[in-house]
Structure 1
Amino acid sequence: MAGVNKVIILGRLGSDPEVRTLPSGGKVVNFSIATSENYTNRNGEKVEQTEWHRIELWENLANIAEQYLKKGDMAYVEGKIRTEKWTDQNGQERYTQKIRGTSMQLVGGRANNAVEDNDSASSYGSSNTGYAPKPAPVPTPPPIEMAGNGGDDLPF
C-alpha cells in the first residue's frame, strides 16, 4: 500500500543551526522551528499554543542553512517525518521524531537573511533539494459579473 509522508512547516528558528561535518565531507544541520497558534478558550481567555519541530537538513540545504539562517529567522521547510530509535544511558529504548527537510525557503527580507544573489538563487531553485526562491504573486482575476438576462453573459 502506498502512502504520503509530507510536512510543511513555517515558523521561527529557536536557535542557530547546529552543523556537523560527516567523514565523507558532507554536512548535516539540525535546528528547531516554533509554530504557534492563537485561540480563545471556553473561559474567553486568549491562549497561544507553541509547537517545536526538530528539523534536519542534508548536503546543499545544510550549506544554505549554515550560511543564511540564525536564531529568530523565519523559514519555510517541506519534508518528511522520520522516527529514530535509540537506547538511553539506562538501557531504555527511546524514539525521536524529526522532519528531514527536502526543500527550504528563506522567508523575509534582507534582515531575515534572504538570498539576493541571483546566480545562487537560480541554481538552488532548479531542484527540490535546494533553495527555492519565492514565487511571483499571481494576479487575482477580476470578478465575473452575471447580468440578470438569462445567462447570456456567461464566459463559456
Structure 2
Amino acid sequence: MSRGFNKVILMGNLAKDPDVRYTPSKQKVARITVAVGRQWKSKTGEIQNHTDFIQVVAWSFSADICEKYLRKGRPVLVEGRLSVRDFDDARTGQHRWVTEVVADSLTLLPGGKRDEEGEPFRASAPSYGAPRAAAPQEDLGSLRDEKGFGDEFPLDFSEIPDEGTPGDVDIPF
C-alpha cells in the first residue's frame, strides 16, 4: 500500500470558547470550532458569503495553549490532519461518523475580539534573544560601496574552472 498525504491548514476565528477535558488516562484534550469564511461572486455578479464551522481537536501541549490563550473570536492558524472516525452513540444507539481536524500545531494570530477591559487578547511567546534592529537603508548602501558589493551579482561564473563534472564545483561562500 502506498503512503498517502494528509495535511490541513486552517485560518479563521474561534466560533466559541474551547471545551477542555481530560481522558480517563489523564491526557488533556481541547475541542475548538474554527469559523472559516469565504466569499465569491455569483453568476449575477452578487457577492456571496459563506462560513464553514470546522471541528478541531488538540491534545496535550496544544490543548494547554487552547485553554490559556484562545477565546471566542480569537484568530488562529491550525495545522494538522483530517481524521474520520466512527462510534456507536450510547444514548440513541445509532452508528455515527465524525470528521474533524487533529491539530499538530496552533499559531495565535494578532487581532480579533477584545476582552472586558477593551484590550485585545495577546499571547506572550517566550523570547529567545534580543530583537534585531533594522539597519537604516543609507548604512546598507555605504556598506555595499565599502565592501565592493554594488548592485551586480557578487560571483563571476567565469572564475569557476570547468572540470566537466557537474556537482563538483566549489562555491566560494
Check the 8 A contact 1:69/1:113 in 2, yes or no: no
State the 1:87 CA deviation.
2.1
State the 1:24 CA deviation.
2.9
Code of the residue aligned with 2:16 in structure 1: it is S
State the 1:116 CA deviation.
4.1
Q: Which consecutive aligned stretches of 4+ in structure 1 deviate over 6 angstroms post-superposition?
A: none
- Matched residue, 1:103: 105
- Matched residue, 2:76: 75
TM-score when normalising by structure 1: 0.71
Bigger strand fraction? 1
Question: Would you say 1:115 and 2:124 are equivalent positions?
Answer: yes
Gaps of 5+ in 2: 112-118, 130-151, 158-173
For 2:79 and 2:61, locate their aligned partners in 1 and report how far apart those are by CA, in whole Å.
Answer: 15
Q: Which deviates the most, 102-111 or 50-59?
A: 102-111
Code of the residue aligned with 1:46 in structure 2: it is I
1:80-124 CA-to-partner distances (Å, cap 9, x unmatched) read 1111102234433221100000011000057233224427xx9xx
Percent identity, aligned pairs only, is 32
State the 1:43 CA deviation.
1.4
- Matched residue, 1:16: 17
Code of the residue aligned with 2:123 in structure 1: it is A
Between structure 1 and structure 2, the one with the greater Rg is: 2
Code of the residue aligned with 1:15 in structure 2: it is K
- Matched residue, 1:53: 54
For 2:82 and 2:125, locate their aligned partners in 1 and report how far apart those are by CA, in whole Å.
Answer: 30
- Matched residue, 1:63: 64
TM-score when normalising by structure 2: 0.65
Gaps of 5+ in 1: 123-153
State the 1:23 CA deviation.
3.1
Q: Output the aligned Cα RMSD.
A: 2.3
